[in-house]
Chain A
């Protein structure tokens, strides 16, 4: 019999924040779909510009409170509380403003695979800051430190491979991290094939080998 509680209750404002990210799914242990909330950072960005081509996820954004502005494939949409925005995998999306936005996501036709950051979060956060600034070597160092303490974290292995690829570190070690990431979390196989971070190494035969 499962030791997990049959049901749990949380308030969005009470969940521990990780920078601008409120990890609802991880906090509640939800495994059927992704669900997280976001608030604005100092730059007013709530949802960073991105698409979900690599993950294939459909995403639904719900403006819970405040007022946001979405940019969706170049179109600007004002989104006060109570707005629902649905974005297909290839839609470029970004949200700014002063709002709390709940995001729900999963890929059609696939079982959702949860990836908890837990104790790896501080390293991940540090690496993402460096990645956003295109300091790929620093991002790699942060992930390396994270892996020293969390050696079986699929996300850290995947990001190691991403950042190493971007930093021009194309030794066997990079592909070994990618292989390990896929072993720990098979959806990374599909994600890696569509991930622009791997453009520098995509033609390397070791890339395909790592994804087998």
Chain B
């Protein structure tokens, strides 16, 4: 069957930070035409859509599927009960939302205006979080390597891969990927300096900075 079915409750639940939980849909179905994920929250009043601007450049549509959320869009609060659609045309709009009811689900759909969709680089970081938290380093590294196949040379993916390799006790791999990340995106030097994952790596010759 060239179709697949699931429910929001059956999606993987990956806690990210600030209480919001990533529920991957695009990866679950292998969708390659638009970005699509759901978000739930660890409790009422907790974050359900992370506070961010859309670095990908996407147009984004947030649909409150269940419950009630409170969005903040460039500082303006929007009450969003189930059935509300928040469309953000301008990727520079700072957006975030908290859950106002238990069980709230927000669906996020994104894509480029006038350009074909590409899988977002941040997905590998989110997808690898369970393996990283459980120190299943081979799995976490494999997910980032898959991300690099999707985005060859992407500095953020290289940087996050280096972090995991450093924690996994693979300093040579970590250093190689970190150097490549910094070469492609020099401001990452400052992040490398501040990232505790690289503590054991800092005395190595060739550590950036």
Contact = CB atoms under 8 A, between A and B. Distances in A.
Contact of B113 (A8, A32, A90, A108): A32
Interface residues of B, number: 51
A10 B34 contact: no
A148 B6 CA distance: 46
Nearest to B87: A28
A153 B107 CA distance: 32
A19 interface: no
A6 interface: yes
Contact of A77 (B5, B33, B36): B5
Given A84-B5, A88-B2, A104 B85 contact: no
Interface string A18-40: 00000010001111110100000
Contact of B1 (A24, A72, A112): A72
Contacts, number: 158
Interface in A65-93: 65, 70, 72-73, 75, 77, 79, 81-91, 93
B122 interface: no
Contacts of A85: 3-5
A88 B116 CA distance: 17
Interface stretch (A41-49, A56-64, A169-177, A188-196): A56-64
B47 to A, nearest CB: 19
Indicate the member of B5, B29, B115, B116 with the most A CB atoms within 10 Å.
B5
Contact of B74 (A6, A70, A105): A6
Nearest to A28: B87
A65 B31 CA distance: 23
A184 interface: no
B117 A106 contact: yes
A109 B87 contact: no
A106 B34 contact: yes
A6 B7 contact: no
A162 interface: no
Contacts of B88: 6-7
A29 B88 CA distance: 10
A109 B86 CA distance: 26
Contacts of B63: 62, 64, 102
Given A11-B83, A104-B34, A111 B4 contact: no
A60 B114 contact: no
Interface of A: 2, 4-13, 24, 28-33, 35, 57-58, 60, 62, 64-65, 70, 72-73, 75, 77, 79, 81-91, 93, 102, 104-112
12 contacts: A7-B74, A8-B89, A9-B78, A12-B83, A62-B65, A62-B107, A73-B3, A75-B1, A79-B5, A82-B66, A88-B2, A108-B116
Interface of B: 1-9, 11, 25, 29, 31-34, 36, 58-59, 61, 63, 65-66, 73-74, 78, 80-90, 92-93, 95, 105, 107, 109-117
Given A24-B85, A35-B61, A83-B5, 18 more contacts: A7-B87, A8-B86, A8-B89, A9-B87, A13-B83, A33-B59, A33-B117, A58-B31, A65-B82, A70-B5, A73-B2, A85-B3, A87-B3, A106-B33, A106-B111, A108-B116, A111-B115, A112-B34
